Amino acid sequence: MFKKILIANRGEIAVRIIRACKEWGISTVAVHSDVDSDSMHVRLADESVCIGSHQPQNSYLNIPSLLSAVTLTGAEAIHPGYGFLSENANFAEIVTKQGIKFIGPSSELIKKMGDKIEAKKIAKKYGLPVIQGSEGSIKSVEDAKKIIKDIGYPVLLKAAGGGGGKGMKVVNESSQIEELFATAKNEAKKYFGNDEIYIEKYFKNPRHIEVQVLSGKNRTVHLFERDCSVQRRHQKLIEETPSPVLNEKTRVELLDKTVKMVEKIGYEGAGTVEYIYENGKFYFLEMNTRVQVEHPVSEVTTGIDIVKEQIFIAHSGKTALKQTDIIPTGHAIECRINAEDPSKGFQPSPGRINVCHQPSGFRTRVDGAIFQGCTITPYYDSLICKLICQGRNRTEAIQRTLRALDEFVLDGISTTIDLQKKILNHKKFIDSNFNVKWLDEEKFF
């Protein structure tokens, strides 16, 4: 096994990786910006290196600084976590060429699956149903109009190199196409340095369902599916497993086809294949070539430590798991606790946490990097921790999550906790009668 791993990230995912490393007996190196010197991931790691100022491009996105930290500490591998450089093919390639193990798939696969157009072609080639739309990027409004004539309105304009709702525009009628085409291209260029966009059929009542995989040279296994349909502006807020809307026949088909595609492309590591689901049918959306924020719900129902397995695959090239080893039990729900004020349009709420009491109890887990007296800075993502609760069934999982949310005390900042209580108590959530647009349309405040 590796002797030392550098974690090229911060916050709760860095803490999560450090814990997995410690259980493997691996020494850890935390990197941090100047404002993160007192952070939990720095406190827990065996060593730490300051790699720059608070601006991400000067620290967590600074490849030369990260490589210098590897040289300084003698780390053998880099774990990128999620976000930042985790899906940067150039970073993975540079790391590998330096003789350092990148804990993730090859740079070639990151590049292929990170390009939404190329990923769609690959998925189609290996038998996954894909969303009707353009075969590749579209160059002009005229080209867009020709494609839309075949598939009909509404359509979705999407950035080829994007994600998180950036460079994504819904076009409901022909009068909107010119303005929204230009806006989507400009956003794509601004956020991803690539103004290529493509068109897909827009779904009116979709669910967002994804499949967790672990794959090595020997085999690919799945850890079943997650339902991530509680979203705000394409950002997930609550996730659960299993999906309450899939029947067993559809579930088996979804899992089998996903595993076959992942095997065919020669994927190694942890990954997630995401789908749109509507009217009993699923359609390939994208593949995330990294560990997901919501991975803990799959861990608690299957008993598999995804991050530890990810590290094992990176070291050995193989997965020790067989599909028959993975038997899910019960139902799990994750709430992403963000430092935001939902009553003020989800305005970020940085500040000092004066009082911090985190819930515990039977089948209750909190993944985070917060503590009493810590400061939430305005420079990074607003996610501060995640609450994961498991029940024997969905009803018990909801009740346990509500109980745990009631126990949370975070004084000094605003959070999404009260909103999540309202969502979990809402009849539409209890009945699983909602889609990805629900939070944007429902008035909770």
Token pair of 187, please?
């956003």
Residue 362 CA neighbour count, 13 Å, CB half: 6
**Residue 20 to residue 25: CA distance in whole angstroms:** 9
How far apart, in Å, are the Cα atoms of 250 and each of 90, 129, 130, 240, 277?
37, 13, 16, 17, 10
Q: Where are the beta strands (DSSP E) in 4-58?
A: 4-7, 27-33, 47-52
Residue tagged active-site, from 10, 16, 232, 290 = 290
Torsion of Cα atoms, 67 then 71 then 74 then 77, to 10°: 20
Residue 32 CA neighbour count, 13 Å, CB half: 20
Query: Would residue 392 show up in a list of annotated catalytic residues for this protein?
Result: no
Burial 92-129 (b: 16+ CB within 10 A, else e): bbbbeeeebbbbbbbbebbbbbbbbbebbebbeebebb
Please, are residues 60 and 10 in contact by the beta-carbon 8 Å criterion?
yes
How far apart, in Å, are the Cα atoms of 41 and each of 16, 32, 47, 99, 395?
9, 9, 10, 25, 34
Q: What share of the chain is helix, strand, coil (3-state, %, to 5)?
A: 35, 25, 35
Bridge-partner residues for 170, per DSSP?
156
> Which residues make Cβ contacts (< 8 Å) with residue 193, sequence separation at least 6?
161
To which residue do tokens 């460079």 refer? 167
Instruction: Indicate which residues carry an active-site annotation.
Output: 290
